Structure 1
Amino acid sequence: MTLDMQQFKADFFKALAHPLRIRILELLAEGDKSVNEIQSLVGSEGSAVSQQLTVLRTKNIVTGTKDGNRVIYSLRDPMIIDLLTVARHIFNNHLVDTISMLDKINE
């Protein structure tokens, strides 16, 4: 693997390394949404959502399309949905392992 590819991966995962960004991606996995819709669904103020959308746009993870005076956001690559699903499976596996370990300690 080339250094360029490693750097791309590191930058990509840094862009995902924020809970609000992950939540935004999960919402966009359900379908395209405007900033107002995203703000409403995450229950966060506009500046926080806009700031995180800017990071995701800069890293080409989401795209924004003008629709009148609104911007509609969408996932640039639908494989992001697969990545989020894999991350959930990894989390669940860790959780199962932790629960098993705790069960053994409590026996």
Structure 2
Amino acid sequence: MGVPLHQAKAELFRTLGHPVRVRVLELLQDGPRAVRDLLAEIDVEPSNLSQQLAVLRRAGLVASSREGALVIYMLSTTDVADLLAAGRRILASVLDDRDGLREQLRLEGISR
């Protein structure tokens, strides 16, 4: 018997639960990038980036290829970019709701 769908989804979201991994995926939305270019954009040690890329690769969220001495990474599917966009929309909505609640509390004189 395979892994239940809810468990597979939980594993996907755990994979996305690291800021370096999310940043890598955001950068790859613009197209394939060499590891050296990712390192220039993300303030982490090369070994840490390598580790995070391996996690993303094992999860199937990125793919890699070699061009001479360069290792190039790309999103495995455009659905990854769609998921990141959905995350931004959800976050904006949640923050808007929080800000709205704060404003409502302030207007009612209940805020601290």
Which deviations, in whole Å up to 9, do the C-alpha atoms of 1:84-106 show, x marking residues without a partner? 00100000001111111111111
User: 1 or 2, which has the higher helix percentage?
Assistant: 1
TM normalised by structure 1 equals: 0.92
* Equivalent residue letter for 2:93: N
Structure with the greater alpha carbon radius of gyration:
2
Paired-residue identity, %: 35
> Is structure 2 residue 22 aligned with structure 1 residue 17?
no
CA distance in 2: counterparts of 1:93 and 1:12, whole angstroms: 22
CA RMSD of superposed structures (Å): 1.3
* Cα distance, 1:10 vs structure 2: 1.7
Structure 2: 5+ residue runs without aligned partners? 108-112
CA distance in 2: counterparts of 1:14 and 1:104, whole angstroms: 34
* Cα distance, 1:4 vs structure 2: 2.8
> Is structure 2 residue 35 aligned with structure 1 residue 35?
yes
CA distance in 2: counterparts of 1:37 and 1:3, whole angstroms: 36
CA distance in 2: counterparts of 1:100 and 1:5, whole angstroms: 35
SS at match of 2:63: strand
